[in-house]
Amino acid sequence: MCGFRLGSVTSASIGRPAMMAPPAVWLLLPLGLLCLCSSTAASLSGGATAAEAAADYVVVATSWLKTKPVCQGLRVDAPANLTASSSWVPLSHSYGPCSAAAGSLSPAPADVLLQDQHRAAYIQRKLADGTPQDDNGSDLPESDCKSGQSEHAPTVSPNIGENSSPTSEGSEAVTLIEPAAGGSGAQRLPGVKQTMVLDTASDVAWVQCAPCPMPQCHPQTDTIYDPSQSSTYAPFACGSPVCRQLGPYGNGCAAGSRQCQYRVQYPDGRSTMGTYISDTLRLNPTSVIGGFQFGCSHAVQGHFPNDTAGIMALGRGAQSLASQTRLTYGGVFSYCLPRTASYSGFFVLGVPGVAASRYALTPMFAVPQAPMLYLVRLRAIVVAGQALAVPPAVFAPGAVVDSRTVITRLPPTAYGALRAAFRASMGMYRAAPPKQQLDTCYDFRGVRRVTLPRVTLVFDHSAAVELDPSGILYNDCLAFTPGSDDRAIGAIGNVQLQTYEVLYNVAGATMGFRRAAC
């Protein structure tokens, strides 16, 4: 059996000339992965050795990148050495067999890509003028994104509230959260389960609340949260420090009650508004966050992902989950999105129970015009063992790592070099027309196995992230697209980081990447 390189990029491998076509003999490995082999090293005399050439490519069964109809669960067990300052919960794609809306149809790739253009435009407007709220200035069409199924994002399902009437209908839900270690299965928790999208570019968490008359409510799978049924629910007065701290998210006072109101506007015209409150949040049976502050939404405009209840904000703002819990969990969180919706991933609030040596670490920074965002600096891209000839200045602006952006946006110069190298390595396949913003696509009809060049993103401090094959292709296209110009800040999409645990150490200004984590 030939060697299988696990992603460390050395100066020797970066400098070695890349093979522009893979060797001709393949050997099938488990899980659909194949290891590239050559029948003899002598056949490659004068260039890279057979082992080196094999290490530059990976072969996958085309079926391996497709979602299966039944949830396969977690591929990796929860760490057994979590401490009281860490909380681990399962995570899923916002659609598919492992999601809360398991019976719903998966989104059409064209809808996902269109929604992703909205998301990218939203991030760029934040970077341009620093306005947390969006003015709905996008000129992208909206109609195709109205299904509510066009998101490709991670979701979790915590429980909210304490039962004031244990026998009332819907006041208690069976959580789908497994104990982090040593547990015996799902448990009944107080409150109601609420499926929420993880959003690292938002500051205000919210869930849909009763009363919420139609059509102001969007359909959701979970039992709707009713604050009147929770003994630990509390609103905030309009003049309270918490209400004043909402800043641009504040929306005045409720008539008569003098209760603090909030409003969040999203890039494609979607919005939520209601009362800003606090209640108990349970991530799992042992992790209880008392007095968690969030928006209790009484009116929603537009459709949100696959019948989810709301958004779990993880930005740098004072209202986010990471900020509210920093004294307990240290301002650290991480998540792992699986390669397809057939599997579950995980979300960790606090320091993961994994050795630091298993992470590729890079500095994380913020920009003053959009302080809620998390940025890193890309330094190089390696394709099939060869570093692309991209001037370092091209990567200088940095890139946002965003949980809900799907496709990575590169500086045009870097993208052009990546596309040229990728196309040269994929010359044996039939080209297909572009799909939305993806311009390097292939026709794999009748192809059982696809040979891909390995692609590695190298971040500051030599943090090398070799992409999983599911992070190279999306809908049979190269899963990258160019940004507006080389001076613009880019974005790292969640497709590229599938199967990686992405660690945000906000207090330590560090981001980490752990491969094959889910």
Active site members: 199, 402
For residue 134, give the H/E element and its range: none
Question: With contact defined as beta carbons under 8 Å apart, do 205 and 169 qualify?
Answer: no
Fill in the amino acid letter for 514: R
- Nearest partner of 89 among 220, 183, 230, judged by Cα: 183
Distance CA 462, CA 502 (A): 16
Is 443:238 a contact under the CB 8 Å cutoff?
no
The total of other beta-carbon atoms located within 10 Å of residue 137's CB is 9
Q: List all residues 6 or more positions away from 195 whose beta carbon is below 8 Å from its beta carbon.
A: 99, 100, 155, 156, 157, 220, 221, 222, 307, 308, 309
How many Å apart are CA 210 and CA 56, to the nearest integer? 55
Cα(390)–Cα(68) distance, integer angstroms: 39
Q: Is the CB of residue 276 less than 8 Å from the CB of residue 246?
A: yes
Is residue 185 classed exposed, middle or buried when 0-12, 13-18 and 19+ CB atoms within 10 A define those classes? exposed
What is d(CA 190, CA 276) in angstroms, rounded to the nearest whole number?
A: 21
Residue in the structure block whose two tokens are 């701290």: 245
Cis peptide before 215 (omega within 30 of 0): yes
In terms of Cβ atoms closer than 10 Å to its own Cβ (0-12, 13-18, 19+), residue 420 is middle
Burial 458-469 (b: 16+ CB within 10 A, else e): bbbeebbbbbbb
Helix or strand or coil: residue 436?
A: coil
**Residue 164 burial (10 A CB sphere; 0-12, 13-18, 19+):** middle
Whole-number Cα distances in Å, 333 to 172, 266, 321? 27, 24, 10
Contacts (Cβ under 8 Å, ≥6 apart) of 230: 160, 161, 162, 163, 164, 191, 279, 280
For residue 141, count other CB atoms closer than 10 A to its CB. Answer: 11
Give CA–CA dist 261/243, Å, rounded. 8
Measured between alpha carbons, how far is 340 from 66 in angstroms, rounded to an integer? 7
DSSP three-state, residue 435: strand
CB-side exposure of 36: number of CA atoms within 13 Å?
26
